[in-house]
Amino acid sequence: MLLDKFQSMAGVRAELEAIGIVPFGAVTEKITSATEGVVNGHQVILAGTNNYLGMSFDTRCIASAQAAAETWGTGTTGSRMANGTFAEHIALEQELAQFYGVDQAIVFTTGYAATQGMCATLAGPGDVILLDADSHASIYAGAQLSGAEIIRFKHSDTNDLEKRLRRLGDRTGNTLIVVEGIYSMLGDVAPLKEIAELKRRYGGYLLVDEAHSMGVLGEHGRGAAEAAGVEDDVDFIAGTFSKSLGATGGFCVSRHALLEAIRFSVRSYIFTASATPGVIASVRTALKIITAEPQRRERLWENAQLLYTGLKQLGLAVGPSVSPVVAVTIEDRVEALQSWQKLLEAGVYVNLVVPPASPSEKSMLRCSVSAAHSPEQIDHIIAAFAAVNAARPVGIPVA
């Protein structure tokens, strides 16, 4: 039967409800600041929001959004191809291009639409998409829609990438290499210097999804490509407004003049209502702020170091390096569920990640650090993890 395939998920939901744990789609009932709120009835420190620079509650961004809603209304009621292109959309595209030092930019309504749309459009039948195995679902979705041949290489393994590029031979001219800047699950950074060198040697085009690295890495906050010094080797940079810029939406920038023509071939751009005026205005303000206030990025990394070190000293299995994404891997799924609930009760909200969303068969408690977190809040998060870890039943391993 058509709906039978959903029975297993329904069973999981029923199991969770029976034990009183609701980790997926947890309801945020109140937000009191960039780092605090009420989730599922608990007053918590928000440690799973990807609000890296704390922009979602910046009073300047809020004021810009309010003024735009009063001037332009609450929505555009149309796609960019119809009546949905306002002067503010064009201004933001120009400012994004300037921020990245290129001439071309496209603004999308969501980050998912940006990466999916670009992957689905840049390559097509007869072409090749060579992507990192741990790529985001939006990248996989776009690759599948493209009709191109899809080849995965082992996560951040440049030897495997080179082997596959070598096998492609002359086909590299029709190959799109897709990687992320910071990977969202473990917080590791792509080896872009080595990837860019392989692209120069073998050919192809390179798209980097900077969703979690824009505003976080690089001298000017442009992301992993800037930090690695390889921006000239990157053909397309995609990203989102929902992380460091504290809003919603997505973008793609490029040094290729043809991006303006590509715009009119991207279905997720053509057939989606454009971003609301309030969102566009808040993003424009946030972009100016993160450019003018690099100290936010400095505080973010100070907080990331504090949390990573604190959790590692507890003996927890954290990622390979310090990052604003700090994930604790737990072998047992039920123990991960129970730990998530205990953290919530202790006043800490984190993300629970279970297979198939996690990059392995293990589960994770994923934290995302913000520049807006105080040192005392970081200490509270560590103390909550310590209490949960101390209460773990004997024989339940942390990976």
- Which of 326, 350, 329, 325 lies closest to 340, judged by CA? 350
What is the sign of the dihedral through the CA atoms of 57, 287, 140 and 231? negative
Asked if 374 is an active-site residue, the reply is no
Of 89, 243, 342, 380, the active-site residue reads 243
Report whether 185 contacts 327 (CB < 8 A).
Answer: yes
Which two tokens mark 284?
A: 């424009």
Which two tokens mark 362?
A: 């293990």
Asked if 212 is an active-site residue, the reply is yes
DSSP state letters, 181-224 = SB-TTT-PBP-HHHHHHHHHHH--EEEEE-TTTTTTSSTTS--H
- Which of 226, 146, 152 lies closest to 182, judged by CA? 226
Contacts of 220 (CB under 8 A, 6+ apart): 99, 226, 291, 294
Asked if 242 is an active-site residue, the reply is no
Of 184, 242, 339, 363, the active-site residue reads 184
Of 136, 199, 212, 373, the active-site residue reads 212
What is the sign of the dihedral through the CA atoms of 60, 66, 71 and 72? positive
Which two tokens mark 76?
A: 């555009």
Active site residues: 184, 212, 243
